[in-house]
């Protein structure tokens, strides 16, 4: 029930945005870092990357537009934190697609058997 509510609350356009945000290795790495650890500043998130701080910032904005992360200004640094909701939503959507496929398979199977 919760699942259905969550699924229908978003449109395909919005799912596409979230998927697109996840469709980049650098951003997947950022998401992994943030899901695994504390909220972090841009400088912290840039450490260990080959990219410039500005590049990382742009990636973070993409993730923020998709609501996958939130940013809060804290003094001179802006801390980014993971938000699990959009990912939960696209997971539900993928479940929905998989279910549709299972039903399709069942239909094809019963068609063959008849």
Partner DNA sequence: ATATTATGCAACCTCCTGGTTACATAATAT
Partner DNA sequence: ATATTATGTAACCAGGAGGTTGCATAATAT
Residues forming contacts to its own copies in the complex (CB under 8 A) are 12-13, 15-25, 28-29, 31-32, 35-38, 82, 84, 87-88, 90-91, 94-95, 97-98, 100-101, 104, 108
Report if residue 72 touches DNA, rule: CB under 7 A: no
Structure tokens at 50: 């080959």
> Could you give the string, one character per residue 20-59, with x where binding to DNA holds by CB under 7 A and - elsewhere?
---xx-x--------------xxxx-----xxxxxx-xxx
Phi and psi at residue 46, in whole multiples of 5°?
A: -80, -30
- For helices 25-36 and 53-65, the axis angle rounded to 10 degrees is 80
């Amino acid at each position: 029930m919760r699942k259905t509510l969550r699924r229908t609350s978003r449109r395909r356009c919005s799912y596409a945005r979230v998927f697109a945000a996840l469709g980049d290795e650098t951003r997947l790495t950022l998401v992994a870092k943030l899901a695994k650890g504390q909220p972090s500043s841009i400088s912290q998130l840039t450490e260990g990357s080959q990219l410039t701080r500005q590049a990382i910032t742009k990636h973070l904005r993409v993730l923020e537009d998709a609501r996958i992360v939130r940013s809060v200004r804290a003094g001179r640094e802006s801390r980014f934190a993971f938000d699990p909701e959009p990912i939960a939503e696209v997971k539900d959507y993928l479940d929905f697609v998989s279910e549709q496929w299972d039903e399709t398979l069942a239909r094809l199977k019963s068609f063959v058997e008849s």
